[in-house]
Amino acid sequence: MKSVGINEIKKELTKRDFDELQEYCLRLVRFKKENKELLSFILFDADDIENYIENIKNETDQQFDEMNKSNIYFIKKTVRKILRNINKHIRFALSKEVEAELLIHFCNCILSYHIPIKKSRQLMNLYEAQLKKIEIVLSAIHPDLQYDLRKKLLN
């Protein structure tokens, strides 16, 4: 079955009443964990972005703390998992500032937790790709914020 486009869905949703829309949201939440997380963000965290960012940073720190550093394979696997989680939260927030702040925190964690990125070409490429992403995102935000976030990246 082929799904219809977003514009068609949007037009159809405008025709529905509140109770039907609420039921649709609850059905969506039941099917996929990411849908539930997105709806939780929209309902509970979207109004307090600073607290949301701090929670994600704390979660990231905890994941780096629990990382199995016995083997470079486990390190690569865990770092990619952490980055996937961060990217998911970036998609939820839809904000360049949040994206820059979380990616900067991720890169700083790689350095501060002494992840051996020089021992693995994949880890080095991943780290460099995140730095490039940060530069692209920083170029799209206000110069004052750029300055503050660049200072965070250097620390």
CA dihedral 19, 21, 26, 31 (to 10 degrees): 150
CA distance 30 to 128: 37
- The closest alpha carbon to 137, from 88, 101, 92, belongs to 101
Question: How confident is the model at residue 26, as a pLDDT?
Answer: 87
Question: Domain map of the chain by residue range?
Answer: 48-154
Does the pTM surpass 0.75? The reply is yes
Per run of 10 residues, the mean pLDDT along the chain (length 155 residues) is: 83 89 87 88 91 96 95 95 96 94 96 92 96 94 87 74
Residues 6+ apart with CB under 8 A from 93: 41, 46, 49, 52, 99
Question: How confident is the model at residue 103, as a pLDDT?
Answer: 96
Question: For tokens 């780096």, what's the residue?
Answer: 64
Question: How confident is the model at residue 155, as a pLDDT?
Answer: 55
